[in-house]
Structure 1
Amino acid sequence: MDTSAAIRKPRIAVSACLIGAEVRYNGGHKASRLCNELLSQHVDFVPVCPEVAIGLGVPRAPIRLIGDPAAPHAVGTHDPALDLSGPLRAYGQQMAADLQDISGYIFMQKSPSCGLERVKVYQANGYPAHEGGRGLYAAAFCQQRPDLPVEEEGRLCDPVLRENFITRVYAYTDWQRLLTEGLSRGALIAFHARYKYQLMANNPQQYRVLGKLLGGMTRDDDPQTLGPRYFSQLMAALRRCASRGNHSNVLLHLSGYLRNALSDEDRQEIRQLINQYHAGIVPLVVPLTLLKHHLRSHPDAYVLQQVYLQPHPESLSLRNAI
C-alpha cells in the first residue's frame, strides 16, 4: 500500500548552512534538526550557498537589501557601494537551469540572498520598509522554476506546512519518473486517477478542472504539450494545504468503497474516528490507519493505487501531527 515505495529517493536543494556547512557571513552555520535528523534519511540533499558561490569569503562582511521591496538591491552593510544584485540574480538563474533533477528546495529564512518572504529591505532613513522583500538569489531561482516545491526552513516547523511541502516533493518526483517513462494520453489519465483523492483533499475544485482538461483530450492533442500544462496546474493546486473538512470528506469517500464488506460496527467505528479527527480530537493518522487496516482485508484495486493513502514514507510520521 506504500505508493511512494516505487518512487526514487527525492533530491532536495537546500541552503548549505541548514545542513551544518559553516558558510554564513560570521563563519557559522544554522544547522536544522528537521533537515539533518528527519529528512536526511529519506532525501538526498544538494547544498547550495549562493554568497560563497559568487566569490564572497567566509567569514565576510554581511549584506542587506535596500530600496524598493518589490525590486531591491543587495549591497554590503558596511560598504553600500558593493552591489551584489547582478551576481546573485545570475547565479539564481544558473542554478535553476543546472538543478534539473531536484524535486524541491528548502531555503534559509530572512536571508538577503535566500529568504523567500519577509526579508528586511532597508530604506534611506536606515529603517526597514514595512513590506518585506525576497532574497535575490531565491527570487531569480523561483522565477525560473515556478512549479518546483519550495519552502523556508522556519515555516517547516509548522506540521501542516511540513506535510504539504513533502507531499508536493514526492508528487514532483513522481512526475519526473513519469517523464522518464514517456508521456502518453493513457499515462496522463492514469497519473491523474492516482492523485484523485490527494487533489480532493487539497483543492477539490481544481480536481474537477484538471479532470475536464484531460477529459477533453483528443487524438490530435500532443501529451508533450498538454502534460506540462496539466502538471503546472496540479502543483499549484497542491500548494493549498488540505483542511480537516476536506480530509474528512476524502476519508468518508474512501470508506464508502468498504460499505458492503464491513459490519455495521466496523462502519460505525470508522465514522466515529473520522468525526473525532474532524473535531481535532485525534490526528489524521488514526482514522487513516483503521481505513488501511480494513483495505488490507478487503482490497480494492482503485483505492489501493491512490497516492493519498501514502503520499510520503510512513516513517516520516508527518500525519501523526496534523
Structure 2
Amino acid sequence: MLSARDAAGNEITTERRALGEGVEPFSCIGCGNGVSFVAAFPRELDGKPHTVKAFFRLRPKTEHKENCVYLVDKKVAVLASKSVGLVESLKNGQYRFRLVTIDREPDDKVHTAPAPKIKPGGKEGRPSPQFEPSKSRRLAAYLSTAKRVARLRAACESDESIKDHLQLVFSNEVVSWNDFYYESERFLAAFAWVGNVANSFPIALQGRVRNVVTRSTAKGVFHVLNLKSVKAIPLSSDPTIGESGEASVWSRQAEWLNRFQEDDEVLAFGHWKQARQKPVRLPTSVASFKGFLNREISMWLVFSTQIAKLSEID
C-alpha cells in the first residue's frame, strides 16, 4: 500500500510519512484495519543492489476485510471487469493477461542500435510475436488494460503479491513479472533483459521524469522525455568503474511528452531498445569511481497512451 489513514483521519502517502508526517496508529484506507509503515530499505536483486520503496503493510495476524479494495484478488477482478475480452478468467480466482506486440518504432532509429536476433549467452528465442492492428479500437483498449496491469503491480509490495492472481503470457509462454515490470532502481536489469531476448514483448517501466527536451538531427526534430538515472554501482567486471542506467521515451509529437513535468511519476509501456554503446566517461569532479559507464534504453512512442502519470491511471 502506498498510502494509509492516520489517527487524525488524514490520508498519508509513503513519501509524506518518510518526511515524518502523519499521526500513528495508521489504518488501511479501504477497510480500516491496522497497518504499519515500512521505510525504504536495501536488498539485492538480479545480483545488484536494489532499494525497496517504502510501503504500508498490514500488522501481524491481520488481513484486509473481504470488501477491501486493497485485496489484490479483488483488485484483479475489478481490472478484469474493466477489460472484457482482454483479461481472461482462469480458475480459483486467477486471471491471465496476454501481451501483444505493439507496432514497431519508426524507421528513423537515430538513437538506438539495431536489435540482434539472438545474442550469445542470451535467453532462448521465443516464437514469433503476436501483432495487433495499429489503428484498431482493440489496441487502444489493450493499452489501457496494460497500464492498469502495471499500475496494479506498482501498488503491490512485490511481484509475490500479484503473481498468484494475475498471469502474464506472451506467445503462449508464461512471462515472469520480474521480466515485465521494472521500477527505476531496476533500469540496469531492464537494459540486460532487452539485450538478451530474440523477440521482445512490451515491458513496463516506472520512473520519475528528469526533463523533456527537444533534439534536432539530420533526420528531423525529436522530443525526448528522460527519466531520472540510477545511482552508479560497481561494474561487476571492474569495481573501479561505476555502472548506471537511464531510460528515455522518444516521439515526433511534442504534445505527447510536453504535458509531463519534472518529478512526475510515470509508467511507460512498450518495446524498449538498448542505446548505442558509449565509452567510459571520466568523472568531472572527485568521485568514488575512476570512470562511469552509462547504460541507456529508449522507446519510440507509437501511441500517446503508452505513457501516463501513475496517478492518472484508473
What is the TM-score normalised by the length of structure 1?
A: 0.26
| Structure with the largest fraction of helix | 1
| Structure with the largest fraction of strand | 2
By relative contact order (CA 8 Å, sep 6+), the higher-ranking structure is: 1
